[in-house]
Structure 1
């Protein structure tokens, strides 16, 4: 396990510079992120992990423009999110960011195909048929496109949600516990599709997870503790991720006894 964040460089999809987030004020102030600087490279699959309260979800929300920072900067490519107004942020999220959540968030009255193409419809943009065909074939969904969500398994619904997130060719996809509602077999299937979207389609994915097995599908794991970067694990395995998390717990225990 290294102790430095991924350095910024050419091909950075999204980055944070001296990012701090404080909730509340005075005696009840809670620092969720403390001066975090990190970058996520284009075409890379990164998992963010850490104990409960470590700041991993806060970091993802700030990187995605879903929450505002107390101080510091967030850049999507060369666009600084922290200077944008609400309307500009809404447009940016719609056009340049994809989201995959633990709950599939599919519209029940729409077919799989209609759910996948919904972002383009809402943006009033033409559907890129060639790109969507590539997604459908990569995720093996062609025989399910006319089915509504109730007729799909959990794993199939999450595949539709991933294809929807990728449909506009976003700069980065943020995935928040994407296998949290799936059994182990469906979860492995979904994680394989996420990894394929990176390796075969050039997508950039940042995933928050608590599961070492899920994190091992990523190219690297970023560890957070007490709102700060605690290390990174390159080419992770379930065992190396568990060792990294155990090391964080040991540090927390030692700090608590001191």
Structure 2
């Protein structure tokens, strides 16, 4: 039985219970997740870290309903997503989950504004213009809304991707190496916004990263090693994260 890595807070946004994920079969089988139990409180910024092959990306994909599990349960809010069918999962990801990836995944023929609103349009939902305006202003995108991705810097493109993730007011935003394709200055801008979205907009953010500097922007770091929980760090600093990773052999 794994240790439960719990978070402080009043409401749980996402939780995994005894999560198991296996790739391959027989002698070549790899247990990417080996009984992981972890809870993430609403309104907090959490980073998931660990050595290469520790299972951090697999955990995020399972928490977000992007990958099936071989054992255990995942809850997003009050919904157990591990029992949902494909259509139900698609609807949940569309309506209640936001994603920010290392690749910006913007459509090159659309303006920044159209990219931000695309998910809502595909879902047949009208945007809350006040919320849209708040996000755009917090991200500093007001004078870039008519620009296409090719006319934006990498940092601006990632901020557009962040706005797209937030505009539907999701229960949680999953960020998978969101600064991986950015220089240090642009990366800091995106991390500042993710932190601001938690503190000022009440968003819940769960980020996978290998970068101790990026992790230092979070409220909490959850550590994995060999597919199992390996501790956590509250109020992380770059030095405290580096020390923990060194202890894990990363």
Q: TM-score range by the shorter chain?
A: over 0.9
**2:110 and 2:78 mapped to 1: Cα distance?**
36
What per-residue deviation string (whole Å, max 9, x for no partner) do you get for residues 120-144 of structure 1? 1010011110100000111111000
Counterpart position of 1:193: 193
- 1:26 is displaced (CA, Å) by 1.1
Counterpart position of 2:113: 113
**SS at 1:217's partner residue?**
coil
- 1:9 is displaced (CA, Å) by 6.6
**1:31 and 1:7 mapped to 2: Cα distance?**
25
Paired residues in the alignment total: 248
- 1:4 is displaced (CA, Å) by 5.9
- 1:29 is displaced (CA, Å) by 0.8
Q: For structure 1, list consecutive stretches of 5 or more residues without a partner in the other structure.
A: 251-258
* TM-score normalised according to structure 1 size: 0.94
**SS at 1:137's partner residue?**
helix
What per-residue deviation string (whole Å, max 9, x for no partner) do you get for residues 1-28 of structure 1? xx86125874100000010101111111
Contact 1:4 1:231 in 2 (8 A): no
**SS at 2:99's partner residue?**
strand
Counterpart position of 1:256: none
**1:149 and 1:102 mapped to 2: Cα distance?**
15
Give 4+ residue runs of structure 1 displaced > 3 Å after superposition: 7-10
What per-residue deviation string (whole Å, max 9, x for no partner) do you get for residues 154-210 of structure 1? 000000000000010000000000000000010011100110000000000000000
1:31 equivalenced with 2:31 (yes/no):
yes
**SS at 1:168's partner residue?**
coil
Contact 1:45 1:198 in 2 (8 A): yes
